[in-house]
């Protein structure tokens, strides 16, 4: 299966919670993709070629709940059929503390891969990850 590309820029606030939901649809008319059996992984780096990962957001094979752990959560559409094909990127506020060590905004890069049950990367969401430095810090 060919990997689908989705270029979506994101904004993360240092010390703030990031909580965004996306939905993968395909075809004409557009139909949500069943994400049953899928996994995911996301990384943010200052530069694409950088060896250093600023933040890694792992796949969470669990139901998303408020105040959950940082992770990528996939909806199965069992309870709400309209949620089929949706996935949530959730980054807790304390996981973004200190990302802007020199107190300057970072304009970096990220990508998120969705892997099907066979382990093939079938969706790559990628783009610019702008991380805004915060004045208020726990020092």
**Domain spanning 4-132, CATH architecture:** Sandwich (2.60)
- 62-120 pLDDT, tens digit per residue, is 877 777 899 999 987 777 888 899 999 999 999 999 899 888 999 999 999 999 999 99
In this predicted structure, what is the pLDDT of residue 74? 93
In this predicted structure, what is the pLDDT of residue 87? 95
Q: What are phi and psi of 72, to 5 degrees?
A: -100, 125
| pLDDT level of residue 6 (50, 70, 90 thresholds) | very high
- 25-72 pLDDT, tens digit per residue, is 998 999 999 999 999 999 999 999 999 999 999 999 887 777 789 999
What is the rounded CA–CA span in Å between residue 61 and residue 35? 12
Q: What are phi and psi of 7, to 5 degrees?
A: -90, 110
In this predicted structure, what is the pLDDT of residue 25? 93
In this predicted structure, what is the pLDDT of residue 62? 85
Domain residue ranges in the chain: 4-132
What's the predicted TM-score (pTM) here? 0.91
Say if CB 96 and CB 14 are below 8 A apart: yes
In this predicted structure, what is the pLDDT of residue 139? 63
In this predicted structure, what is the pLDDT of residue 1? 66
């Amino acid at each position: 299966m060919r990997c689908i590309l989705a270029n979506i820029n994101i904004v993360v606030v240092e010390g703030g919670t990031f909580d965004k939901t996306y939905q993968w649809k395909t075809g004409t008319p557009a139909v949500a993709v069943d994400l049953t059996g899928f996994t995911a992984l996301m990384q943010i780096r200052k530069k694409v070629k950088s060896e250093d990962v600023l933040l890694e957001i792992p796949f969470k094979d669990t139901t998303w709940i408020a105040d959950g752990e940082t992770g990528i959560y996939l909806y199965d559409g069992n309870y709400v059929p309209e949620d089929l094909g949706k996935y949530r990127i959730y980054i807790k506020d304390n996981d973004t503390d200190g990302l802007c060590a020199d107190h300057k905004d970072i304009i970096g890069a990220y990508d998120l891969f969705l892997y099907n049950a066979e382990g093939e990367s079938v969706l790559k969401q990628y783009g610019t990850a702008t991380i805004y430095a915060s004045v208020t810090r726990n020092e």
